[in-house]
Structure 1
Amino acid sequence: MSKLDGNERWKSKMLLTEHQEQYEQRRADGAKVPASRPTEAEMIMIRDYILLPYMLSMVEKSLDDMEHRANLLKPLYLMAGKVVRSRISEDLYLLRRELARRNIRVFRDEQEEMVVYHRFVCRGYEDRLGLVRDVVRAEISVRLTRYLKEMAARLTAGG
């Protein structure tokens, strides 16, 4: 029990506004959430965040190649490529927003032989994620197939 307990004079606010703000700021800083490891779902989001830009550049390169070729079905291929590109861009945008909402940042770190490393910070927890290039290629192939199947399902359902 302090000497001020029971003294009614100390119950009223006697702090200046700026002192009150400083006090509240110190309490907020001291009550920070400890660094926490990402969940499995968040690790998948980080992996997807790394893969989607590669997929996007592959689709754009394919579209550029198709532009310069003569093919009877060229308009169809270009339209399909543009739909896939916009779908990947949309997914990347949504993923960026979700990662920002969860306070997760991803940075390209380095590339050693066949492994590409990315550094990530998840709510104060910092680590590296390494992806083997062959695994990246396989995952991109699976993802592109999924996007194309989605598009084919829409075409068959609509027609």
Structure 2
Amino acid sequence: MQRAESQDNLLVKSYILLPLIISAFERDASVMSSELRTPAPYLLVIQSAVHAATADLREVRAGMRARGLRVYEQQRLEIGVEAKFVCRGYHERMLLLDDVIAAQATLHMRSYLGMEKRIAIW
């Protein structure tokens, strides 16, 4: 049986992580706008990060289409997120543990905020 290649797995992982990162930025922006006295500069930085993450998500989706990948089920479990996907006709499964999600999301969020050198999403 043919297995998904590492590039395929990175695309699926990014497909799972990016919406979580975007949601975290949006949630943080909401909190900042109500709690800070002058939220505008901070919200601009977060808004820029959301736009960059959204652009990356578009690229990931295009890459998935080009490689014949399709996630058909995502499920939140106690220990993380499970995704089931089709890779060129073969059904695969990926489990991302909460610790891995938190670590990867932090790295990418710091990158989107300009705190670290930009890292490739896939």
Instruction: Please tell me whether residue 42 in structure 1 is matched to residue 25 in structure 2.
Output: no
Instruction: Specify which of 40, 53, 70 is matched with residue 88 of structure 1.
Output: 53
SS of residue in 1 equivalent to 2:84: strand
| TM-score after normalising by structure 1 | 0.67
Question: Residue 137 of structure 1: CA displacement?
Answer: 0.7
Structure 1 residue runs of 4+, over 3 Å off?
none
Q: 1: CA distance between counterparts of 2:36 and 2:45?
A: 16
Q: Which runs of 5+ in 1 are unaligned?
A: 1-34, 154-159
Deviations 1:90-115 (A, max 9, x none): 00011101101111001334333213
Q: 2: CA distance between counterparts of 1:65 and 1:107?
A: 32
Q: 2: CA distance between counterparts of 1:36 and 1:105?
A: 16
Give the corresponding residue for 2:85. 120
Describe how 1:46-57 pairs up with structure 2 within 5 A: 46-57=12-23
Q: 2: CA distance between counterparts of 1:69 and 1:112?
A: 32
SS of residue in 1 equivalent to 2:110: helix
Q: Kindly report the root-mean-square deviation, in angstroms, between the aligned alpha carbons of the 2 structures.
A: 1.8
Instruction: Specify which of 35, 46, 53 is matched with residue 69 of structure 1.
Output: 35
Q: Who wins on radius of gyration, i.e. which is larger?
A: 1
SS of residue in 1 equivalent to 2:35: coil
| TM-score after normalising by structure 2 | 0.86
Q: 2: CA distance between counterparts of 1:70 and 1:117?
A: 36
The number of equivalent residue pairs is 117
Question: Residue 36 of structure 1: CA displacement?
Answer: 3.8
